[in-house]
């Protein structure tokens, strides 16, 4: 059941706009299309997010954030599973934890307040870009508990690492200029390539993401949440709508519906499920972020796909984001 229009709240009602003069932020205005979309009053599962405003990319060039992009590892051809950075996970996570935020820029699309910012790390003498999502900028949803999306985002990353699937850029929970939220390493992507341009050339990677979305019950796999990196591999972003206790799978990846899982993906799932030490560590980590029922349902979905190793089938139009058409 959708929430009545009169009870819906827009992000503008939920968080006050920061004042650049006081906080030192450089804020990009919301596009007109974003404001209009905010007022539609539609069910969150039927939201049609507007395409990025091309004009916005050229705004305020003098204030553009210029930082060092993460250096990628030289992987063997077609090795999309291995760790993709030259720095280790500990090194990157340490940088994300220690780094000092520079000026923030508001990303003017999406339903929650999202910022891109430079992060300067004194210890390594490096500056990288991060995507910062404060909890107080999360728009209320009728089907997810308020103030939990940042925890779900981090939990999804932990699941991907436990499986040895490295398509999610490192993300941590930390304090920031607008309070606690997630800070995720920014990776360079080919903005000219869209999902339908590359899907036939990256089947194995998309199959991995499709299985991941099923076991984490991801309700938000739009085309814009699968990005072709300049390293030649697919990256997955925006995992704040995972781990619901009700069936919520909503994805653009339906090419493999009903097909058997490839052996390598099945083996990775089985390795996690039967490695008691690794599974215990993951469940403890998730227990600090999710309710016990959410953790239990995640584990049951993992068991279910091992018992019946096929890709999920499409059963409802609500499982399809608007970009599918």
Report the pLDDT value the prediction gives residue 210, as an integer from 0 to 100.
97
Average per-residue pLDDT in the chain?
Answer: 82
131-177: pLDDT as tens digits = 999 999 999 999 999 999 999 999 999 999 999 999 999 999 999 99
Report the pLDDT value the prediction gives residue 192, as an integer from 0 to 100.
87
Report the pLDDT value the prediction gives residue 110, as an integer from 0 to 100.
77
Task: Label residue 305 by pLDDT band (50, 70, 90).
Answer: very high
259-278: pLDDT as tens digits = 999 999 999 999 999 999 99
pTM above 0.85, yes or no: no
Task: Label residue 81 by pLDDT band (50, 70, 90).
Answer: confident
Q: Taking the CA atoms of the chain, what radius of gyration do you get in angstroms?
A: 19
Report the pLDDT value the prediction gives residue 77, as an integer from 0 to 100.
63
Task: Label residue 111 by pLDDT band (50, 70, 90).
Answer: confident
Burial (CB < 10 A; 0-12, 13-18, 19+), residue 169, is buried
Task: Label residue 64 by pLDDT band (50, 70, 90).
Answer: low
Distances (CA, A) of 110 to 48, 60, 294: 10, 20, 25
17-54: pLDDT as tens digits = 433 322 233 333 323 232 333 333 344 444 433 344 44
36: left (phi over 0), alpha (psi -120 to 50) or beta: alpha
176-227: pLDDT as tens digits = 999 999 999 999 998 888 888 998 899 999 999 999 999 999 999 999 899 9
Task: Label residue 7 by pLDDT band (50, 70, 90).
Answer: very low
The rounded distance, in Å, linking the Cα atoms of 249 and 217 is 5
């Amino acid at each position: 059941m959708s929430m009545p229009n009169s009870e819906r709240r827009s992000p503008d009602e939920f968080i006050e706009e920061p004042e650049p003069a006081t906080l030192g932020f450089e804020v990009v205005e919301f596009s007109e299309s974003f404001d209009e979309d905010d007022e539609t009053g539609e069910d969150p599962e039927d939201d049609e997010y507007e395409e990025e405003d091309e004009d916005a990319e050229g705004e305020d060039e003098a204030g553009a954030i210029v930082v060092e992009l993460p250096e990628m590892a030289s992987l063997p051809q077609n090795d999309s599973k291995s760790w993709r950075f030259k720095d280790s996970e500990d090194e990157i996570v340490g940088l994300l934890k220690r780094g000092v935020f520079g000026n923030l820029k508001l990303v003017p699309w999406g339903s929650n307040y999202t910022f891109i910012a430079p992060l300067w790390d004194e210890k390594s003498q490096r500056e990288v870009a991060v995507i910062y999502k404060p909890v107080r900028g999360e728009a209320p949803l009728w089907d997810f508990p308020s103030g939990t999306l940042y925890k779900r985002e981090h939990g999804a990353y932990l699941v991907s690492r436990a499986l040895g699937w490295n398509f999610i850029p490192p993300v941590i929970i930390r304090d920031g200029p607008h309070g606690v939220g997630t800070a995720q390493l920014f990776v360079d992507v080919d903005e000219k390539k869209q999902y339908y341009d590359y899907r036939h050339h990256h089947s194995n990677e998309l199959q991995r993401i499709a299985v991941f979305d099923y076991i984490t019950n991801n309700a938000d796999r739009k085309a814009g949440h699968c990005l072709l990196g300049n390293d030649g591999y697919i990256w997955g972003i925006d995992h704040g709508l995972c781990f619901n206790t009700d069936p919520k799978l909503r994805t653009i990846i339906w090419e493999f519906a009903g097909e058997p899982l490839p052996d390598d993906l099945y083996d990775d799932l089985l390795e996690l499920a039967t490695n008691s030490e690794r599974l215990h560590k993951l469940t403890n980590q998730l227990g600090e972020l999710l309710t016990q029922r959410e953790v239990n349902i995640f584990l049951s979905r993992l068991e279910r796909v091992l018992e019946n190793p096929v890709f999920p089938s499409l059963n409802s139009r609500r499982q399809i984001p608007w970009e599918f058409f």
